[in-house]
Structure 1
C-alpha cells in the first residue's frame, strides 16, 4: 500500500534508475507545448507527452507517490518486471502490457535477474480517465496480455518515430492517433495465451509491415511468449523459410517492384528496402535473382 507523500524511499527504491540505458530512445515533449497542443482547435482530446524504448533496462524503475496527470502505457517485449498500484504488486512478463491510470500513485521496475525491454508512452487528455474506466482498466487490473502483441509494438514504434521527427502539430497528431489506436486495441481485447498458429500468423504480419527494420528473432519469440528455438522451428514449419530469410525475400520483392516502376537509383532503392550498404544489397539481390539490380532493370518485361 502507498503511504502519504512524505514517505521515505526504501533502499530498493533508491536503486531504481528512470532512464539512461545503453541503446535507449526517449522523447519528452516540453510541457508548454503540451498545454498549447491541448488548447488548439481539433487537438484537445489527447496528446503523447513522453515516449521511449528501453532495451534490457537493468535497474529501471520509478515510484511516483505524487500522481501524474498522464496515463502510462508500457509494453514488455523481453525480460520481466513488476508494477504496483494502491492495490498491490503485479508481475509483468514478456508479451504483457502495463496500463497505469492517471491521477493515481504507482510504481514499476525491471526484474533484477531478467530486466525487461520496454516500449512506452505517456499520454494526457480530458477523455483518457473515463475511457480507461469504460475499458476496464483499474488499479486492480493494470496488466494485460493482448492476443496479438505485434501490431501494438508497431504502433509504439510509430509513436516514437513521429515524436522524434519534430513537435509540429502534424507530427503530434500522428503520434496521438497511434497512441489512441493502442488504447482502443487494448480496450477491445480479452487476455488469453496466444495459440501457436496465431502467433506465427501475427509474426508474419509484423515482419511484412516492418521489412526495412532490423528484426530480432529473440524479440519476436518473446512477444509470442515462446522460446527463440521453438518460435524459429514453428515459423519455418508454417512459412517455409527462417525469419531472416523470409524478411530478405520480402525486401527483394519490394526492390523488384521499385526497380520496375520507379527511376530511383540503386542506392536509393537499397535504402528504401532496408539496406544502407548498396553494394551488400546488390550482392544479396544477385544471390537470389542471378543478376544484378541494374541487369534486372534493363530486362524487357511484360
Structure 2
C-alpha cells in the first residue's frame, strides 16, 4: 500500500482558515502563540509526510501509542509512546509511522510572537517520564480542550482560551520536573490525608466510602 498523509479511520482534524490566522496574528492575546492545525491520527498505518521546504509553523507530534520516526536533514529520531517532538518552522523534514507498530499521534501546528519562549524544546526528542497515568490524562484533556474549542467556532474567546491552553501544554513539556512535582504533590497529599483520617478513627469502624468522603474523592478515584 502507498504511503498516505491523512485519511485514517477515526481521525480528527481542524485546519483554521487563513482569515482566522490573520486575526490570530493581530489579537493581543492570540498573537503570542496560536494553533493553526490540530488533530489526532489513530493507528496511522502507512502514515508518511514530507515537506522539502518545511512548514510555516512549528509542528508538535505527541506519540500516544505505537512507534514512528521524524527525519530532519540526515538525522532521524524514533518516537514511541509518551514522547514528543516539535519540528521547528521552515525546517525541511519527513515523518512517518513504524511499519510494524504504527503510531497514534496527537499533533498540532503553532506559531506566534513568543515561540522563542519554548526554543529549548524545539527540535529535541522529549521523553515524558510521568510516574502515573494522571499526568498523561491531564495533557490529553488539555489537547481535547483546544480541539473542542476550535471546533465550537472561531470567536475571540474560544481562540484566546486555546492560546492559553497551548502555552500551558508547552510549559508542561518545557518545565517537566515542575509539572511532575506538583502533580505528585497532589497525589501525596491525598495519601497523607487518608492516613491521618484512618489514624484519627483507628478505634472506629470505617469504610472505604468514609475515607473517600474525607478527602473529597469518589471510591473509584482512590
- Measured against the shorter chain, the TM-score band is 0.7 to 0.9
Report the TM-score, using the length of structure 1 for normalisation: 0.55
Aligned position for 1:149: 136
Distance 1:143 1:166 in 2: 32
Report the TM-score, using the length of structure 2 for normalisation: 0.73
Which among 99, 117, 121 is matched to residue 131 of structure 1? 117
Distance 1:132 1:87 in 2: 24
Output the aligned Cα RMSD.
2.5
Which among 116, 120, 137 is matched to residue 103 of structure 2? 116
Which among 13, 18, 26 is matched to residue 5 of structure 2? 18
Q: Are 1:105 and 2:89 counterparts?
A: no
Quick check: which has more Rg, 1 or 2?
Answer: 1
Distance 1:149 1:189 in 2: 12
Deviations 1:113-136 (A, max 9, x none): 1111111111111221x2232xx2
The answer to whether the 8 A contact 2:82-2:128 is kept is yes
Deviations 1:46-105 (A, max 9, x none): 111010111111111211111212111121111110111235000100111121111211
* Pairwise CA distance, 1:248: 9.5
The answer to whether the 8 A contact 2:30-2:163 is kept is no
Distance 2:40 2:219 in 1: 25
Q: Are 1:186 and 2:173 counterparts?
A: yes
The answer to whether the 8 A contact 1:101-1:137 is kept is no
* Pairwise CA distance, 1:164: 1.1
The answer to whether the 8 A contact 1:48-1:124 is kept is yes
Q: Superposition pairs for residues 72-91 of structure 1, below 5 Å?
A: 72-91=59-78
Q: Superposition pairs for residues 212-227 of structure 1, below 5 Å?
A: none
Aligned position for 1:40: 27
Distance 2:218 2:56 in 1: 41
Alignment: residue pair count: 182
Distance 1:149 1:31 in 2: 32
Give the gaps of 5 or more residues in structure 1: 1-13, 202-245, 251-302
Aligned position for 1:52: 39
Q: Are 1:164 and 2:164 counterparts?
A: no
Higher relative contact order (CA 8 A, sep 6+): 2
* Pairwise CA distance, 1:167: 1.2
The structure with more strand, counted as a fraction of residues: 2
| Cα distance change of structure 1 residues 42 and 179 upon mapping to structure 2, 3 Å threshold | closer
Moved over 3 A (4+): 246-250
* Pairwise CA distance, 1:28: 0.5
